[in-house]
Chains A and B, each alone.
Chain A
């Protein structure tokens, strides 16, 4: 029997959750014996293959992220939401208190470090912002939630181990964190 396949995507978030995943340290070797890692932010896959486990790290904030989340949902049997951004929206939701246009103006024109005398805001070259940054489960069905900013390495490993054993994990209270 071939090894189950895993894909992870990095949407609107910092790299913290993936860093925390790498913090499982040498245990990753053992994990790789049991699972085949396909598309990840560091393997640069252009297409997400059919996988058993698809991990979403990050909130959904623009058209591209929305597309990727939906693609992953189509390709993956089980979707895991990693981290506060994917689960609750996280720090990205700070922009939800203003219209998306204001966010772009802030980012491309008004920021102190920006030189943009013509006030150009890119259109087409970068994906359009959604009106609000939202948790992953607002656009796709999520099977396993792993809150935490970031979740502990042990928690991430626990989720994989449970999934590989064929169980659908619920994060126990002693592992759950929101910060």
Chain B
């Protein structure tokens, strides 16, 4: 990296060869106004707000697209520049119908801010008053073309970060408008994943989120808190805007991070909505068909009274959500597992056990059996094994689409259901049982192993024979033609950095997970942080739950229980099996922030819990990072911390609970050995 030095308005500024003029300026806190530019998206120099004067160059240059050169003398502020910038703004105002007084984005609008900054107190050009449409067909988004400045940020974020390529430009000149798919309305688009990234990056009031018209603008908000989305295992970093005690809006953290600062429809809409849901406000005790309000003391004594005998007979247990933080999970573990020697599990225990057991052969070798999900972006071949990322972890689906569409990665699908990336996939194998049985993956692994051996000259010929045999077997197992089989093997064998995305369906059989690990080793899917697997676990802190709470063996469905303590975060609907187990249990304590039905109907004692935005702690995400969940809104009154709840119960039971040490989840799957040294589980 060669350092370069530029002069901005008399100030010496350092940059790196390859930076644009704007990048050097921003690194050195030199302000240049921008409109179409957004960090992380490819610069296009469309709006020309960022023009600068460079000495010895007669033309004005767009700083966002012009490479910085050592020794450049740049002027960012001058009468001439101000004149042109103001002129651009006036043309933008005259060209479309920007009326701040009835725009929901007034105050948040970058166009407005720039116009005010440049002293635009009138518009010298006649307004066109051209009629543009307001596309209100999408249930959650609005696209008012009257307010568009054609910065194309939405189109770029949709293509470069979300990989959906829903948005594009139609027509020319002043008549140009952003359109969905091939000229459809946004609500009719078949490719839009409703992630709202376009609305987040829109500098004006063109693409807006309907709800925000009443939730409030950014400028109306009192505070911005960074936290983590708990809704899937990616754990996207979020920025929550707080307005009078509730979350007005949630945004991704920045287009420059690997995830492009994107969120999915869940994070964007469900998280703010969750602040408006009906809450469990006070402890309640069932009396016949009704609940009556009770004090914490009364409720906790009753719990202790029921838990005591049930625990002695080993007929008690706890079922917790893996949306809990590491700290919360540790408290559960310390109380139920360590102090009472009882079973504990998470709602997604079966999925997690499948992955954990499948990963065990690699973990014991000191190999981290997966890689950060964003590394899909570095991969040249994505193998989707039984996953539907758009459903399981939507941002991972973005990674896959971007890898294929922008980075020219190949895509292979194998699974029981329809190919979720139909149209993008190079080879697709749909076969019943692929996700439950190991044959498909094992025979594919065998092909790769024998192909690799055939390249070693000594036993080349015999290995060729065994490769041919393996290929035949693979084709037979997969019920595919020999050509397709060979295509799959060649795609994997020739890939530099393949990555395997594992759907949670795979986890029903841990041997399949282990076979996928073997396949990754045979395919030399090695990343700096671990083996090239991306398991789509179910929720925000699934990895943390693996470390603290997940039982070794499933017990919930088979065990007869007199007492069950359920802790739900109320953010993901409970599965039927868990609900059935809860209703079978003799006495159920349900602690949850929200009035989620049917769960709360099953309670004998109902306890309020803090909602996700009232808690703090850590999540271990499949992005490979331990991320911090922060309190966004202070907890409501009458809530009790988990440790004081269990201290009170323990006191009644007359037992001692050790203060749990929060086991950092990343230590469980730490990478001690380079994945290249990993040995296959089957060997």
Q: Taking beta carbons and an 8 Å cutoff, which residues of A are in contact with B?
A: 81, 84, 87-91, 93, 96-97, 132, 135, 137-138, 142, 145-147, 149, 170-173, 176-179
Contacts and interface: CB of A to CB of B under 8 A. Distances in A.
Interface string B59-102: 00000000000000000000000000000000001000101111
Given A176-B116, A178-B112, A147 B127 contact: no
Contacts of B444: none
B117 A93 contact: no
B129 A178 contact: no
A93 B116 contact: no
A132 B129 contact: yes
B598 interface: no
B129 A149 contact: no
A138 B93 CA distance: 16
B123 A88 contact: yes
B644 interface: no
A142 B129 CA distance: 22
Interface of B: 93, 97, 99-103, 106-107, 112, 115-117, 119, 121-123, 126-127, 129, 131
B101 A142 contact: no
B119 A179 contact: no
B127 A84 contact: no
Contacts of B126: 138
A171 B129 contact: no
Contacts of A177: 100, 116
A147 B98 CA distance: 14
A77 B244 CA distance: 49
B122 A88 contact: yes
B122 A178 contact: no
A61 to B, nearest CB: 13
B116 A173 contact: yes
B94 to A, nearest CB: 9
9 contacts: A84-B100, A93-B99, A93-B129, A97-B129, A97-B131, A171-B119, A172-B119, A178-B116, A179-B101
A145 B129 contact: no
B99 A171 contact: no
A153 B243 CA distance: 27
4 tightest Cβ-Cβ pairs between the two chains A and B: A178-B100, A149-B101, A145-B121, A179-B100
A179 B104 CA distance: 10
A176 B121 contact: yes
A54 B131 CA distance: 34
A87 B117 CA distance: 17
B101 A84 contact: yes
A91 B102 CA distance: 8
Nearest to A138: B126
A81 B122 contact: yes
Given A93-B127, A135-B122, A147-B122, A173 B99 contact: no
Contact of A87 (B103, B112, B122): B122
A177 B116 CA distance: 7
